[in-house]
Chains A and B, each alone.
Chain A
Amino acid sequence: MRANCWMGRNTVEVREVPDPRILSDRDAIIRITSTAICGSDLHLYDGYIPTMKKGDILGHEFMGEVVELGREVRNLRVGDRVVVPFPIACGHCAACTHGFFSVCENSNPNAALAEMVMGHAPAGVYGYSHMLGGFAGGQAEYARVPFADVGPIKIEGDFRDEQVLFLSDIFPTGYMGAEMCDIQRGDVIAVWGAGPVGQFAMASARMLGAERVIAIDRYPQRLRIAQENTGAEIINYEQTDVLEALRELTAGRGPDACIDAVGTESHHPSGAINAYDRGKQAVRLETDRPHALREAIMSCRNAGIVSVIGVYGGFVDKFPMGSLMNRSLTLRSGQCHVQRYLRPLLDRIRRGEIDPSFVVTHRMPLDEAPQAYEMFKNKQKDCNKVVLTA
């Protein structure tokens, strides 16, 4: 089969690789119909996530048709159309039984590697380094899906792929970011990063009753999509001082909750501050650049909530702990427990409360994945979200 493989920093290649096969009784093999490039794939592309190896198959947002099933999978049939959540979860450990699927205790066979970096290990994730299990990803013609009796959701009805595909990651991720904000009537929610995850966080904050949503980014195209689809007010941080602008917009209070939908590769308008973090990152004194996180903490109103859904890999520097502690802020975070949100969010799509396909700007064949990465990374041609079809 053909698959998009990580070949080194800034290099991906579509190559011929062996077909996946059933390794366990709870496996399924899926023929992929649509897959997407996620913002967090760019952290892999840029070489910031440790334990990638040449030849690793990328991709953790995918959907398709079941072509083969292990003996223990009874909830699916060959031919079913499914969306696959990106965290791999066993469904039976303490974490899974409490709904914390992205920290499943069993699905990462290389948990010991992750423990070295993080203390305890999160779940396995498709196509996201050996530290997260070394599972082949879904930017391919076929994928092996472990614990298929727990993860994938069967799609019935005449939805287009683009309407349901993002249930595998960015829609529930954005939704969880908003849910962690404990939104109350009248709340103002600010979102750093108006990429697709940020856009879904804004749309979800709206669905959960936020009064106002504020989008912070530097790309006019993303800000425009956010404005048009989620009714967000916008701040271009290259033109405006964010802290000042947020004080102004809230008459001094600050947003009630702040969502960091940026993560490790955030950018700062000040050349000096950018250089400081890039320099430390280059010599491995820190692994992540946390401008957005710092700004979210500093901006949040007293006793507010900072919700982190942007992906961080390791260690950050100059963390404003004094602000967090003295002002009674709550910091919440997590990779999305996707399995928890599949059904309720599919119901929202079915009821017409949201059509997630608004994020898509580009559709390309799998074979053009290298060009798609290049375009998505550099935001060429106003690229917001790419869907690849096999």
Chain B
Amino acid sequence: MGGADGAGSAEEPPEVATRGTGPMPRLLGVLSAGLGVALLAVPDRLAEIAGLDHLPDHQTVLRGVGARELGSAAGLLSGRRPALWTWTRVAGDAMDLSVLGLALRTGDRERRRRLSVTTGVIGAVTALDLFAAVLATRAARANGRVMRLRASVTVNRPPDEVYRFWRDLANLPRFMRHLESVRVGGDGRSRWTAKAPAGRSVYWDAEIVEDRPSEVLAWRSLPGTLVPNAGRVRFVTVPGGRGTEVRVELGYAPPAGKLGRMVAKLFGEEPTQQVKDDLRRFKQVIETGEIVRSDSSPDGTDLRRHMMRRPAQPLAG
């Protein structure tokens, strides 16, 4: 059992399919870029269309807005921290709306008409930005909750045999204590059912996303599940006929609130220890054909529950 965290894997942990931010931030980025370029290139013309051409220094103001738009475009298109950049757009919208409010004091009817149209358009954009920002923030929170675990074990079996055992996902509940069943469908998809506290069950659908026989197997829950999760297991031949290193990386994103606490319980209070116990049981099953039980641990390896166990007396009945 060699199983500490961060056992020196070169690969990234598997990506958990949390409900993503979608294409919105990027679309807004493209929009910002176009507007920014236009504002810097032909500020006069745009000022006229928007009904702002009567303001003093309107060219400088519009160039400033253009520069700002280019800034948020760069941020949004970079793909990093979409929530932050979407919120800066909302702030920019608020500034624009207040400038328009000032401009609306003009006496010129034709300008007032153009300004009202502009305000309407900016208002709609603001609503869109707000919506996108809220979505992006939620996604960022879910990603922040993603738990990543690593553990590894060496088993005295060749990689192809270990891979085949694992590839038959229906075998997983034999050693993963929180799983009730994994039913494999014909389309490469599978339905996983886990035991939840208070006799309840939680289930999700998953797909295999990486499959190199005797080397790597990775899976990921399908979008829309309660507990987005993903896993990857690598099978590494140990030189000298010493068997196979089984290196597991897991990630899951528990939901917030009461439900999240229930899910946390489901995965155990000490999730890393639970994964290590799972791997210990995996080794027992594949090497000896059974989970090793003793009189004080009739359910087998489980450090978390061990401390509360009875003394080593035979079981009643």
Where the two chains meet, the residues of A that have a C-beta atom closer than 8 Å to any C-beta of B are: 3, 5, 17-21, 23-26, 53-57, 72, 90-94, 97, 105-113, 115, 120-121, 124, 127, 130, 133-137, 144, 146-147
Contacts and interface: CB of A to CB of B under 8 A. Distances in A.
Nearest to B316: A18
Contacts of B297: 109-110, 133-134
B242 interface: yes
Contacts of A53: 296, 310-312
Given A17-B314, A57-B312, A136-B313, A111 B288 contact: no
Residue in A107, A130, A134 whose Cβ sees the most chain B Cβ within 10 Å = A134
Given A17-B313, A21-B314, A136-B313, A112 B288 contact: no
Interchain residue pairs A-B with the least CB separation, the first 4: A134-B296, A55-B311, A53-B311, A20-B314
A21 B276 contact: no
Contact of B288 (A135, A136, A147): A147
B313 A55 contact: yes
Identify whether the interface residues of A are mostly helix, strand, loop, or mixed: loop
Interface string B252-268: 00000000000000000
Given A112-B277, A113-B303, A113-B306, A20 B312 contact: no
B242 A136 contact: no
Contact of A56 (B290, B298, B306, B311): B311
A112 B295 contact: no
B95 interface: no
Contacts of A91: 288
A112 B284 contact: no
A109 B283 contact: no
Contacts of A136: 294-295, 312-314
Nearest to A135: B294
A92 B156 contact: yes
Nearest to A94: B156
A10 B152 CA distance: 41
Contacts of B300: 109
A134 B276 CA distance: 20
Contact of A106 (B283, B303, B316, B317): B283
> Which of B1, B284, B297, B312 has the most chain A CB within a 10 Å cutoff?
B312
A329 B80 CA distance: 61
Given A90-B287, A107-B292, 13 more contacts: A19-B314, A23-B315, A26-B288, A53-B312, A56-B313, A57-B295, A106-B288, A110-B294, A110-B306, A134-B294, A134-B297, A136-B294, A136-B312
B156 A93 contact: yes
B143 to A, nearest CB: 31
Contacts of B288: 26, 90-93, 106, 147
A92 B289 CA distance: 10
Q: Give the most central of B277, B290, B306, B314: most A CB within 10 Å.
A: B314
Given A112-B276, A127-B312, A134-B309, A18 B317 contact: yes
Contact of B295 (A20, A26, A105, A108): A20
A120 B242 CA distance: 18
A121 B280 CA distance: 12
Contacts of B296: 53, 56, 110, 130, 133-135
A269 B306 CA distance: 42
Contacts of A94: 154, 156, 242-243
B287 A92 contact: yes
A135 B297 CA distance: 8
- For the residues of B in contact with A, the DSSP-based class is loop
Contacts of B303: 110, 112-113
Nearest to B156: A94
Contacts, number: 135
Nearest to B281: A109
Nearest to B293: A23
Contacts of B292: 24, 90, 106-109, 124, 146
B301 interface: yes
Nearest to A136: B295
Contacts of A107: 292
Contacts of B1: 105, 111, 115, 120-121
B19 to A, nearest CB: 36
A53 B312 CA distance: 8
A72 B156 CA distance: 20
Nearest to A133: B294
Nearest to A52: B311
Interface string B138-182: 000000000000000010100000000000000000000000000
Given A111-B301, A130-B296, A135-B295, A26 B311 contact: no
B154 A109 contact: no
Nearest to B2: A120
B243 A135 contact: no
B156 A97 contact: yes
B193 interface: no
Contacts of A124: 292, 294
Contacts of A134: 294-297, 309, 311-312
B294 to A, nearest CB: 5
A108 B156 CA distance: 17
Given A72-B289, A94-B243, A110 B295 contact: no
Interface in B18-64: none
Nearest to B288: A90
Contacts of A18: 313-317
A109 B314 contact: no
B273 interface: yes
Contacts of B309: 130, 134
B295 A144 contact: yes
> Which of B280, B300, B309, B316: most chain A Cβ within 10 A?
B280
A23, A90, A120, most chain B CB atoms within 10 A: A23
A187 B270 CA distance: 54
Contacts of A92: 156, 287-288
B290 A135 contact: no
Interface in B193-249: 242-243
A330 B191 CA distance: 57
A188 to B, nearest CB: 38
A172 to B, nearest CB: 23
Residue from B242, B290, B294 whose CB has the most chain A CB atoms within 10 Å: B294
A92 B161 CA distance: 15
Contacts of B289: 25-26, 72
